[in-house]
């Protein structure tokens, strides 16, 4: 049976990378959506000049999670079967997109992991990001019964029908935490696939006070507690025996 799938990229002020990344993504994905999250650096103009992508634009910058939510809504409204999300800063390799789609035929969610195994040429991640990722990954595993190795990788594939059961409120970089909680509460099946560890730009801003690592970590814990409280009526179903890490 033939299915439809879409690759979506949330973008904010990525004028240095956007054209080169999209040139690659369009080689491996039949349809591409860019969610322009209120860019002001010339990214919007570059996107407008292309005729091989679809664009959804936020009038103002609403956050990384908001970009993903717009992509989820777009995929559902246009009846896609699968959605791949990939970042636009050069951290992800577009040639892996078909592998993610193929893996998603058997599960609801495929999540990339930069720590599942090593690749030749892997970069060293910024120390505070790696430490926070490890801490949040560990606590998600304990609280949700998962066996994650990378809680924050943006390279994912989703069965679009499964997303219809999820309701997101987090619009920033903490949105993946809410995603894991809701996915487990909804009983979704998930796997991880290894991806290389690539950092081309270590100066990413998480937004104001969240650029402080301690503040960011505290915020992530707050989001986790709010997300758990929000799904509390469904907590008895929160067991994830189907989770598999594919190395």
pLDDT, tens digit (0-9, with 9 covering 90-100), for 57-100? 999 999 999 999 999 999 999 999 999 999 887 678 899 999 99
C-beta atoms surrounding 50 within 10 Å? 16
| Surface-to-core class of residue 113, CB atoms within 10 Å of its CB (0-12 exposed, 13-18 middle, 19+ buried) | buried
Which residues, in sequence order, are bridge partners of residue 56? 35
Per residue in 173-218, pLDDT tens?
Answer: 999 999 999 999 999 999 999 998 776 555 566 566 777 778 889 9
The beta-strand segments (E) located in 28-163 are: 32-37, 54-58, 82-85, 109-113, 156-159
Q: Which two tokens stand for residue 99?
A: 């592998």
- The predicted pLDDT at position 247 comes to 47
- High-pLDDT (> 90) share of the chain, %: 71
With bands split at pLDDT 50, 70 and 90, how would you rate the model's confidence at 241?
Answer: very low
With bands split at pLDDT 50, 70 and 90, how would you rate the model's confidence at 236?
Answer: very low
| Residue 242 pLDDT greater than 50, yes or no | no
Nearest by Cα to 93 from 84, 104, 102: 84
- The predicted pLDDT at position 238 comes to 42
Angle in degrees, CA 188, 190, 195, rounded to 5: 150
The SS3 of residue 45 is helix
Q: What is the DSSP letter of 164?
A: T
Per residue in 101-124, pLDDT tens?
Answer: 999 999 999 999 988 877 666 667
């Amino acid at each position: 049976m033939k299915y439809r799938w879409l690759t979506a990229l949330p973008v904010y002020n990525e004028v240095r990378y956007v054209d080169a990344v999209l040139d690659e993504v369009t080689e491996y994905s039949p349809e591409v959506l860019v969610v322009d999250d209120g860019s002001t650096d010339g990214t919007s103009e570059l996107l407008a000049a292309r005729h091989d992508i679809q664009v959804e634009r936020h009038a103002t910058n609403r956050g990384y999670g908001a970009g993903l939510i717009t992509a989820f809504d777009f995929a559902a409204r246009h009846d896609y079967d699968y959605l791949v999300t990939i970042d636009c800063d050069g951290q992800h390799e577009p040639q892996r997109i078909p592998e993610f789609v193929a893996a998603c035929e058997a599960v609801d969610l495929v999540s990339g992991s930069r720590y599942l195994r090593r690749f030749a040429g892997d970069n060293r991640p910024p120390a505070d990001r790696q430490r926070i990722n490890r801490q949040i990954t560990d606590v998600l595993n304990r609280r949700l019964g998962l066996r994650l190795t990378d809680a924050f990788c943006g390279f994912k594939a989703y069965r679009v029908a499964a997303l219809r059961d999820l309701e997101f409120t987090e619009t920033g970089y903490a949105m993946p935490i809410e995603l894991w909680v809701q996915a487990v509460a909804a009983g979704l099946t998930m796997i991880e696939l290894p991806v290389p560890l690539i950092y081309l730009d270590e100066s990413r801003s998480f937004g104001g006070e969240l650029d402080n690592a301690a503040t960011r970590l505290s915020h992530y814990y707050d989001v986790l507690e709010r997300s758990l409280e929000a799904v509390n009526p469904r907590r008895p179903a929160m067991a994830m025996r189907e989770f598999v890490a594919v190395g």
